[in-house]
Structures are given as C-alpha cells and as structure tokens.
Structure 1
C-alpha cells in the first residue's frame, strides 16, 4: 500500500482544518462554478466539463498544474503530490498542493481553479488521440493439401 509523503504532509486525522467531504468541497468550489465530485482512490476527483482538474487525497487538496502555473505553487511554498511505494518515492508533478490560505479566499481559489482547469485542458489537448483501430480484413488461411493420397480408381 502506498502512503503519502512530504515535508508538509499531515495525516488527515491530525490535520487542522475542515474535513474534505463532498458537501465541503461543493461549497468550496461554488464560486468557481458547477463541479462534479467523484469518489477516487482515498479521496475525490473534482472535474468540470468532464475534465478532472483537482484531487483530494487523504484530506489534502491538489490542483492540476503545468509549466505555465507551477511557478505560482512554488512561490507559495507548495509541493507536488508524492507517494511512497516499497521501492521508491513517486512524485506526480502535474498535481500540486493547494496553498492553505486559499481555503479562506473563495474568489482567489476560483481563479486558481480556473487556471488548474486550463492546465488540465492543455494536457488533454497534447495527448495523442487514440487512433481508431483499423478493422483487419479476415483472410482465411489457405487450406492445406492433404498428405493422404486419395484412392486411385481405375
């Protein structure tokens, strides 16, 4: 089983602040606009227009980021999502922890959420679309000639 890691990670039961349940998240993102909140991993995936732009994992909120927005998170002292397996620590550089101060700034949180959605849309646009699989024509294998000799009729 994987566990979360990081200097600023706190177990959700020990973490100060509001519980990240579905009702709280709906209220938190209300200034942003309508969102879909789905159960995912050990938390929730938050999406708008079918694109996931935020994750809540073990009580911590992460927003989608890319080269255009990562510097904002770094300036706030935020860290990317990371987890540890038995073999190594995996850092997911596309999701960064929401700065705690934004939980009390609904308008600014809405702006960061719009930027996270834009980052998710850019990432989706860069993904190569799955090419429609060409239907293979089924060509029957040629029948093997029998090695048996047919009876000779005279």
Structure 2
C-alpha cells in the first residue's frame, strides 16, 4: 500500500505559506519535510502523524492525540509522533497550526549523525 498522495498534496498546499513540503517514501508510507525539517509522517493506512517531543507532549495530550505505536517481532514500540486531530483534514489553518507544532519539534531534534566512511 502506497502513501495517500492526495493527503500529501493537501498537507503541501496547507503548509505552503510556511515552506516547501517534500516527501520520502517510508515502509509504505511517507516522511514529510518542510524546508528540509522532518515534521510529519503519513502511515500506509492514510493517517497523518505530526512529530512531537517532550516540550510539545502536553499540548498533544490535552488534545487527546494518541502516540504512534507499532509492533515489530512481537514487541510493542512507539515513535515520537502524534495522530493529527480530525479537523486538520479539512481546515488548512488547523493543519498549519498543528503542522507548526510538529515542525518546531523537528527543529528541536538533534541532527542525525552521519556514518564515517573508512578510507579504502
């Protein structure tokens, strides 16, 4: 199952005043970036999840937005993403509001370290 391109287009359109949204395929879904900063994922079942962190968790909790969880090899796990509130699917202002919360969490995330390549 491929990521919902219509949803990705909607997110891109709503976030356009903030920055350019790009995507990268991820296990049947997509990781979304705004001006190169990760801020959301679209799961293979067409659900939008925004990046969260310790600083934004209280806001997500207050809105009742569940944490992204999964099971791998029989073990439960979770990622620091929160399910988007229902109103983001039809209100661009709400999508931007919650998207900015995800973008701010993405900006606060430490940069990934790149592996050093040994000289051959």
Counterpart CA distance in 2 for 1:26 and 1:75 is 26
* Matching of residue 109 in structure 1 with residue 104 in structure 2: no
Q: 1:81 aligns with which of 68, 72, 75?
A: 68
Q: CA deviation at 1:65?
A: 0.6
Match of 1:36 among 15, 22, 25: 22
Q: CA deviation at 1:131?
A: 9.4
Instruction: Return the structure number with greater helix share.
Output: 2
Question: 1:107/1:25 Cα in 2 relative to 1: closer, same or farther (>3 Å)?
Answer: closer
Q: Where does residue 6 of structure 1 map in the other structure?
A: none
Tell me if structure 2 keeps the 8 A contact 1:73–1:99.
no
If the length of structure 2 is used for normalisation, what is the TM-score? 0.77
Q: Larger radius of gyration, structure 1 or 2?
A: 1
Determine the C-alpha separation between the residues in 1 that align with 2:115 and 2:13: 40
1:124 aligned to 2:86?
no
Q: Residue 64 of structure 1 corresponds to which residue in structure 2? A: 51
Contact 1:54 1:61 in 2 (8 A): yes
TM-score, normalised via structure 1 length: 0.62
Shift of 1:68: 1.6
Deviation at 1:23, TM superposition (A): 2.9
**Is 1:43–1:56's contact at 8 Å kept on the other side of the alignment?**
yes
- Aligned alpha-carbon RMSD (Å): 2.7
Q: Which has the higher strand share?
A: 2
SS of equivalent to 1:124: coil
Structure 2, unaligned runs of 5 or more:
none
